[in-house]
Structure 1
Amino acid sequence: MNDVNLDPRLKDDTFPIADLPLCRVLLMNDARYPWAILVPRLEGISEVFELSESDQAQLWREATQLGRVMKSLFEGDKLNIATLGNVVSQLHVHVVVRRRSDAAWPAPVWGHGSAEPYGLEQLAGLRDQLIAHVGRLDV
């Protein structure tokens, strides 16, 4: 994967999955929710409007296609796609599959309890599934 300087909090809380044309795909280390994060591989970007129009369109394509795959793969009831950036200013997009049975439903996942890290075996299987599907995105 191409190098991108990740904010230390993103680096500490995620696992790299794959690189798409614009973004690096990261898996959030919280087994309570299927949760990916897209980070454009561009330095010094903190807001969507700082991207070129073509990169803005590409970011949206990558987020929606990844979301479609994840919602199907993890049998979600709802898909949340959001940028926040109040804590981590580096532009990143959360793609979170929600289920009516999840711990935070219907509230946001942010700030709801403590993350439950993946076990090594669980993480390996999930990464393999995501890598297989992300590799087939038409972005």
Structure 2
Amino acid sequence: MEETLIILKPDCMKKRVAGEVISRFEKAGFEIVASKVMQLDGPILREHYAHVADKPFFPEIEEFMSSRPVMPMILRGEDVIAKVRDLLGPTNSQEAAKGTIRGDLGTDMMQNVVHASDSPEAAADEKKRFFPEL
């Protein structure tokens, strides 16, 4: 069984749709093996977004992602990484089809409700970053 990390982002928490998002993952057959609510800060965000931390738009990402608590979770299931990304739809919510999580609940490229690992390697790194106790 494969595992992935997702983060219910600040817009998800603000809109109070976390339950709906979690329900969609559970209905797809995925098991929640860890979850918590946490406030993100500069150091963890710079590590998580290291690939864009030197870009001019990074301060906007940092401001958004630290604007309210988020909910990281580890999901487990067969081919969970690809299947979760299919459930989410494209990163840009404006391009996501209705019926996908981002198409139904997202707003744009940043306020797209959920972050999800994009590969087994990323999932392993992100699980360690957000759940070092496991």
Q: TM-score, normalised by structure 1?
A: 0.33
TM-score of the superposition, structure 2-length normalised? Answer: 0.34
Bigger strand fraction:
1
The answer to which structure, 1 or 2, has the higher relative contact order (CA under 8 A, 6+ apart) is 2
More helix, by proportion:
2
